[in-house]
């Protein structure tokens, strides 16, 4: 507990710096000005009556993973409400559109003890579910001290992170030892959690495999499909810096052989849209930006979909998808989102965040690994030229997605007894 005591001391005396950093994030648009006090543990709404489960998901990816589980939990008890916390503005926007009735969002408090206690004093959750790997020591330990059962679901920890934690064995043991149960994504990660002090630990698979297909607005889907017509097209999705240039280079090499080729780029961070458009326009490409209100016309070569929450729309418009974040130490993004929406999948060599599913897709001949502009160009060209191979890869990817859809049910088997035992009384009746 020495490490936790030291951590609490540092977050206490570091309050001025923490507040300064929060305010700077606010000026940079990384915090929500309308709900900024939630980061100080000040709730912006009353606690609902009856049992309350708290689900914490760090950002967009974890939040999307949690949606299927949240739906299952609400179906398990009709008097249950669910508080969902995240730390980013983009995840809050996503959840505002996709959370089901009886669930609602708040920003997670920054991990200072007074703010954590204020948060827990107000919400008094009856159980806590942590998604993946964001471990806030004060928040976790304070939750345990209040005898709130906590579960780590879809636990993820890399070999490098586990090795780093070995330098602070008592500290990490004091954190992961607070979880009543740890459900890891893979057997390797389950063993790492055991070595760090979690107990019991089980492997039930990746909850992202059970995520519902990304949504799309039907009217807009029909409109865009009409604008594109029968033009050859492909998508570079969830791209990071450098990957847009790979997509542009591929387009430049293929446009003569595929007249009317349309390349759709969906940057992982939409705020980069204007800069990407400028950069690609300087390469002589005709670029349109969705966030700027530009439409797709016959001259459009690159369409930058720099809006939030519309990836499902563009996966439905293209049956060839390069999944970004996979070429340079970002760990890749979820390829099953493309698989669920009938895409043949390409990705780079770095899929560390989705090792298991990337292996499954590769073994099923549902994906191709590309390393640079040469291999990306060759892969896109091959799929544009061969509809039969494209259809075969798409069917194989869909089968992998379907085979993993029951992960959420395995998670629920472990959580069901706790959900069933939650108190039904109103919070005013509690001591």
Instruction: Extract the runs of DSSP E, i.e. beta strands, from 272-401.
Output: 287-289, 302-304, 320-323, 344-347, 367-369
Residue 102 DSSP symbol: T
For 204, half-sphere exposure in the C-beta direction (CA atoms, 13 angstrom radius) is: 25
Q: How many CB atoms lie within 10 A of CB 20?
A: 11
- Indicate the DSSP class of residue 318: -
Q: C-alpha distances in angstroms, 132 versus 147, 157, 186?
A: 21, 8, 12
Q: Are 177 and 197 in contact (CB under 8 A)?
A: yes
- 């591929």: which residue's tokens? 250
- d(C-alpha 304, C-alpha 290), whole Å: 6
Q: What is the Cα–Cα distance from 238 to 35, expressed in whole angstroms?
A: 27
Can you read off the two tokens belonging to residue 13? 């005396």
The Cα 102–Cα 424 span in angstroms is 15
Tokens of 323: 């999944």
- 82 phi-psi bin (left φ>0, alpha ψ -120 to 50, beta other): beta
Q: What is the C-alpha R_g of the chain?
A: 23
Helix crossing, 273-281 with 243-254: angle to 10°?
A: 40
Q: How far apart are CA 337 and CA 339, in angstroms?
A: 6
DSSP string computed for 182-200? EEESSHHHHHHHHHHT--S
The H-or-E segment that residue 266 falls in is strand 262-267
What pairs with residue 262 in β-bridges?
233
| CA angle, 248 then 251 then 257, to 5° | 165
Assess whether 62 carries a catalytic annotation.
yes
Calculated CA dihedral for residues 238, 239, 241, 243, nearest 10 degrees: 170
Catalytic residue among 28, 31, 38, 62: 62
User: What residues act catalytically?
Assistant: 62
């Amino acid at each position: 507990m020495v490490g936790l005591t030291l951590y609490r001391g540092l977050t206490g005396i570091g309050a001025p710096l923490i507040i300064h950093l929060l305010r700077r994030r606010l000026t940079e648009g990384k915090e929500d000005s309308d709900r900024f006090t939630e980061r100080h543990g000040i709730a912006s709404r009353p606690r609902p009556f009856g049992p309350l489960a708290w689900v914490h998901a760090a950002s967009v990816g974890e939040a999307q993973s949690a949606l299927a589980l949240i739906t299952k939990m609400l179906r398990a008890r009709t008097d249950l409400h669910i508080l969902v916390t995240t730390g980013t503005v983009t995840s809050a926007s996503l959840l505002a559109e996709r959370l089901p009735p009886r669930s609602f969002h708040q920003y997670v408090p920054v991990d200072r003890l007074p703010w954590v206690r204020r948060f827990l004093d107000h919400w008094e959750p009856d159980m806590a579910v942590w998604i993946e790997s964001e471990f806030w020591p004060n928040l976790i330990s304070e939750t345990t001290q209040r005898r709130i059962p906590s579960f780590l679901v879809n636990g993820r920890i890399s070999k490098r992170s586990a090795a780093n934690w070995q330098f602070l064995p008592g500290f990490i043991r004091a954190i992961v030892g607070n979880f009543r149960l740890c459900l890891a994504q893979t057997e390797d990660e389950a063993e790492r959690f055991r070595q760090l002090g979690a107990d019991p630990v089980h492997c039930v698979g990746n909850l992202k495999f059970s995520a519902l297909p990304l949504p799309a607005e039907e009217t807009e889907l029909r409109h865009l499909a009409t604008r594109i017509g029968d033009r050859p097209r492909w998508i570079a999705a969830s791209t990071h810096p450098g990957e847009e240039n790979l997509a542009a280079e591929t387009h430049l090499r293929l446009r003569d052989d595929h007249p009317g080729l349309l390349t759709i780029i969906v940057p992982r961070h939409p705020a980069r849209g204007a800069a990407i458009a400028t950069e690609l326009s300087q390469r002589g490409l005709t670029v349109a930006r969705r966030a700027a209100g530009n439409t797709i016309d016959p001259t459009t070569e690159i369409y930058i979909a720099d809006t939030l929450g519309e990836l499902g729309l563009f996966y439905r418009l293209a049956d060839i998808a390069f999944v970004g974040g996979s070429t340079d130490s970002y760990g890749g993004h979820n390829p099953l989102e493309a698989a669920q929406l009938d895409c043949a999948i390409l990705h780079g060599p770095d899929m560390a965040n989705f090792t298991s599913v990337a292996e499954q897709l590769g073994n099923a001949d549902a994906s191709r690994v590309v390393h640079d502009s040469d291999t990306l160009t060759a892969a896109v060209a091959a799929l544009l030229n061969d509809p039969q191979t494209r259809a075969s890869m798409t069917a194989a990817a869909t089968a992998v997605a379907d085979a993993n859809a029951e992960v959420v049910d395995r998670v629920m088997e472990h959580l069901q007894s706790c959900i069933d035992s939650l108190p039904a009384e109103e919070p005013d009746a509690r001591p």
